[in-house]
Amino acid sequence: MKAFLIAVFALSTILVGCVTTTEPSTDAQRLSVIDLTQTPGFTWFVAEMDGYRPDSAHVSRVRTAMNASPDKKVYIFVRPTCSCRGTQRMFPQVMKTLMDAGVDMGRVEVWSMKAATDAQPYASLFTVTQLPAFYVVANGVVTASMGDDFATNYDETNADSLIANAVSR
């Protein structure tokens, strides 16, 4: 009986030690293009991206602007399961335009966030205030933020012109 009680106590101690009380991470998570096609929260991404046909003139503007400034990067912050049009329509359209322009995906960073208040690695450069959020950075300086443009000018089909305007600044 004594051995049984010792075994129960030992097992209880081990189980209590396995319980965690830490909060879930609220850090932004970087996603690759492969991640976007395989992550459950982004099941809509491929279909939305494949269904968009960016205007070749805007694709050319993106290509020219990005080639002219090799240090220019695009940072995109999205909420995975958000059913808002910005995330499920505009974000894949921006990605499609960047890909069609031949932009090296090493210069495009996509970050998944649960909320705009999640910690993100570029807090010293900009504050994410809404999701999705799009920033263009060159030489360590934000040259464009597309949040306001998209909120007021996005019409479901013109993400190509908005990203072209942003990277051309």
Per-residue pLDDT of the chain (169 residues; tens, 9 = 90+): 544 334 434 434 443 444 444 455 589 999 999 999 898 888 889 999 999 999 999 999 999 999 999 999 999 999 887 667 667 889 999 999 999 999 999 999 999 999 999 999 999 999 999 888 999 999 999 999 987 556 678 898 999 999 999 999 9
Task: State the pLDDT at residue 7.
Answer: 40
SS3 assignment, position 151: helix
What is the end-to-end Cα distance of the chain in Å, rounded?
78
Burial of 168 (0-12, 13-18, 19+ CB in 10 A): middle
Check if the beta carbon of residue 134 is closer than 8 Å to that of residue 94.
Answer: yes
Task: State the pLDDT at residue 123.
Answer: 97
Task: State the pLDDT at residue 85.
Answer: 65
Task: State the pLDDT at residue 84.
Answer: 72
Task: State the pLDDT at residue 17.
Answer: 44
Task: State the pLDDT at residue 26.
Answer: 83
Task: State the pLDDT at residue 86.
Answer: 67
